[in-house]
Amino acid sequence: MGIKRAGERRFYEIEAAKNEWSLSELRRQFDASLFERLALSRKPSDIKELARKGQILEKPRDVLKDPYVLEFLGLEARASYSESELEAAIIDKIEHFLLELGKGFLFEARQKRFTFDDEHFFVDLVFYNRLLRCYVLIDLKIGKLTHQNLGQMQMYVNYFDRHVKRDHEAPTIGIILCRKKNDALVEITLPKAANIHASEYQLYLPSKEELQERLGQWLAEAEHPTEPVAATKKRSR
């Protein structure tokens, strides 16, 4: 495929062999910048492992991508559509969506209902990951992420952990798929130990060059963090 970077090439070789990808699926994953999206969802120290071993699922964050690419749904990015229409499009292309989610995912339910204090609640999509042995709840938001969305997902995850999952299973993961997320909002709203994550989705293939540039900047910032302004001023006196 003419992939120049050795680490990225090795990643696709491993994943293609492990997942028995067809040539068309391998090309789709490369065109959708799977390596860059997984790398951007990890700590800088984990990226070398990604290149050496491929995608290994050991902890909840390992399932995340940033962003998720849903070009196979056939929805126009600028068209007006509702959350129910997005959900219906995903169900119609559930095989493609499972491939985009990644390893070990099994689809369980759509609009899964549970009742608490005589009030009904509905989880958009419920999956189970057999490798992590846990439920994965997905809530779809076509607009900007809000703190109410995070609070709602926290309730869903709490309910599944307390009333659905079994003792031998791992804690439930909550993922909010939205058009626009705010990392600062997620950090300030949720406890540090919360097993809830927000990821953006897009309805077109990403620009590989832009993602590579973003990844390069992110790694450079991690290696040479910006010095606090207060500390700089103090030393300059």
pTM above 0.85, yes or no: no
Which stretch of 34-38, 122-126, 230-234 has the lowest confidence by average pLDDT?
Answer: 230-234
pLDDT at 233: 44
**Terminal C-alpha separation, the chain:** 56
Task: For the chain, give the number of residues.
Answer: 237
What is the arrangement of strands in the sheet containing 119-129, beginning at the earlier edge strand?
Answer: 68-69, 196-202, 173-180, 134-144, 119-129, 105-116
pLDDT at 224: 66
Burial class of 4 by CB neighbour count within 10 A (0 to 12, 13 to 18, 19+): exposed
pLDDT at 229: 46
Q: Which H/E stretch holds residue 117?
A: none
Q: How many CB atoms lie within 10 A of CB 37?
A: 20
Paired tokens of 29: 């994953």
The Cα 65–Cα 38 span in angstroms is 5
* Residue 139, pLDDT above cutoff 80: yes
Half-sphere exposure of 57 (CA within 13 A, CB side): 17
The Cα 192–Cα 73 span in angstroms is 34
Residue 173 sits at φ, ψ, to 5 deg, of -105, 135
* Nearest in space to 211 (alpha carbons), one of 69, 72, 86: 69
The Cα 88–Cα 82 span in angstroms is 10
Between the CA of residue 61 and those of 56, 57, 190, what are the distances in Å?
11, 8, 15
Overall average pLDDT of the 215-228 stretch: 70
* Residue 1, pLDDT above cutoff 80: no
Domains of the chain, by residue range, sit at: 1-56, 59-205
Paired tokens of 134: 């846990």
Task: Please provide the average confidence, as pLDDT, over all residues in the chain.
Answer: 88
Q: Is the model more confident about 78 or about 232?
A: 78
The Cα 177–Cα 97 span in angstroms is 13
Per-residue pLDDT tens digits for 116-138: 888 999 999 999 999 999 999 99
* Nearest in space to 223 (alpha carbons), one of 49, 45, 50: 45
Between the CA of residue 97 and those of 15, 101, 153, 201, what are the distances in Å?
17, 6, 21, 12
Domain 59-205 class? alpha beta
**Percent share of the chain, pLDDT over 90:** 59
